[in-house]
Amino acid sequence: MIGRILSLTVAAMIGLSAEAGAQGRDVEVYYDRYGREVLVDVYTGEVIEVREPRGSVRRYGEQRPRREDRGQDRYYLDDPEDVARLRREQRREELGRDGYSYRERFPEYDDYRVEPDYRRDDGYGGGFRDQPTYEPPYQGENRFEPGGIERAPLGDPSGDSSIAAIPGPDAPQDGVIIEDQSPTAVPDINNVPNVAHRGATEEVAKIQILLDRAGASPGVIDGRMGDNVNKAISAYRDLTGQALRTYDTAFIDEQLAATGGDPFQTYEITALDVAGPFVASIPSDYGEKAKLERMSFTSVVEMLAERFHMDERYLRDLNPGVSFDRPGTRLRVVNVPRVRKGEVMRIIADKGRRQVRTYDAAGKLLAIYPSTIGSAATPSPTGTHTVKRVAINPEYTYNPKINFQQGNNTRILTIPPGPNGPVGTVWVGLSKPTYGIHGTPEPSKIGKTESNGCIRLTNWDAQELAKMVKVGATVEFVD
């Protein structure tokens, strides 16, 4: 998810030979999924040159050292400005602009054309080295601090885990859907093809978007009714004080207008989107995962689907026939909610409903998320625990001696960070060693599968929670 971007004068730094038109121009250099250099004019967006890879691929364990401390910096992957800032900062470090010259630190320029592999992961639960990590002080500002986790046997419950019952879900609703038209034309969000035959409807998508804006996350937005949507509809009343009239399309439209406007928007794919970095696929074997540099996205579609809280198939259905790999392509996507604010001091992990509910210090309900919480083979903890720290983009340490063995892997492995890592892009560590709340490489499976004892959310829900939760917040596991 961290792109490699470099702005420089072509004549001075890259040494393009014959192209007089490129000499002296400010360009951005990207590396696409094939490891090729893509030179783009900073001002016009024109692709100046594409260069084939030269040299070997660098593996994750061979990375150059980075600055150990980023001070108070925090980066959130759902914020485009943060993503751009982090890319610039990381590229600056790779180029040695923190005290060492580029040539001294990176004599073999060719090696920095690596595109890691990723995707898929059902298990997790070993020790944990985070990058970057931070521990937010109790109700205060966050700071970076490394740490580790080891899975320990479940003990007796601690604290009071009693909690009021949560009301049951409302009945499901149905409706009709819509799509985009040409790959490059601006989509008319009010006049698009009907794709109801695919099982998705625009009416359901609007309900999901409204729920997402209200803080009752439906998980992936896919235009389909399901258990996660029904639970979110039930939670909507708790958050807003009124029932969600799913049968009343005028009411839904009014609420959408009042909470952020049109449910869909037009998005234009950028050169930065296409540059990645991406990987061809993610191996299922942990030993193979550990050989990668990052657990990155595998495609522009996957990256944009996660950015806009959408199911990949639904994103494709809304934009039939378009080229997702072409800068300038315009897409119809979800108009996602603004960043939610508040300080989470109490979390209830409801195993039976597969749902996480968050509260502030005064007991006000802030947000509700669908979740996957443990399994019969690897149950989650019981009782009450506390939040110890939060890590963004964590590495994952697989340790078969602590909780489970994956395949034929019998030794400790470090799996690099990325959205398709075993714990996604966020780790909220609990006082119960090795247990926590985290993201996932497969958002469409949240609330529908099982975990290895932790609380699993979509990456975007985990990122939202990470911004609000404070160290010392209680986490109650209830049945």
- Name the residues annotated as catalytic: 438, 454
405's tokens: 């063995």
> E strand or H helix at 304, and its extent?
helix 300-307
- CA 304/CA 216 separation, integer angstroms: 21
Tell me: cis bond preceding 172? Omega within 30 of 0 counts: no
Q: Environment class of residue 393 by beta-carbon count within 10 Å: exposed (0-12), middle (13-18) or buried (19+)?
A: buried
- CA 214/CA 476 separation, integer angstroms: 23
- CA 152/CA 158 separation, integer angstroms: 15
For residue 135, what is the DSSP state? B
Specify whether the backbone of 442 is left (phi greater than 0), alpha (psi in -120 to 50) or beta. beta
User: In sequence order, what DSSP letters do the residues of 217-284 get, joined into one string?
Assistant: --SSB-S---HHHHHHHHHHHHHHSS---TT-HHHHHHHHHHTTS-SEEEEEPPHHHHH----S---S
Specify whether the backbone of 374 is left (phi greater than 0), alpha (psi in -120 to 50) or beta. left
197: CB partners within 8 A, 6+ apart: none
- CA 457/CA 475 separation, integer angstroms: 15
- CA 431/CA 411 separation, integer angstroms: 26
329's tokens: 């392509």
- CA 421/CA 189 separation, integer angstroms: 34
For 127-136, give one letter per residue: b (16+ CB within 10 A) or e. bbbbebbbbb
In the sheet that 6-9 helps form, which strands lie side by side, from edge to edge? Answer: 6-9, 26-31, 37-41, 47-51
Give 429's strand partners: 389, 436
304: CB partners within 8 A, 6+ apart: 267, 269, 273, 310, 315, 324, 331, 333
Distances (CA, A) of 465 to 366, 431, 461: 10, 17, 6
Which residue intervals of 13-148 are DSSP H helices? 80-94, 102-105
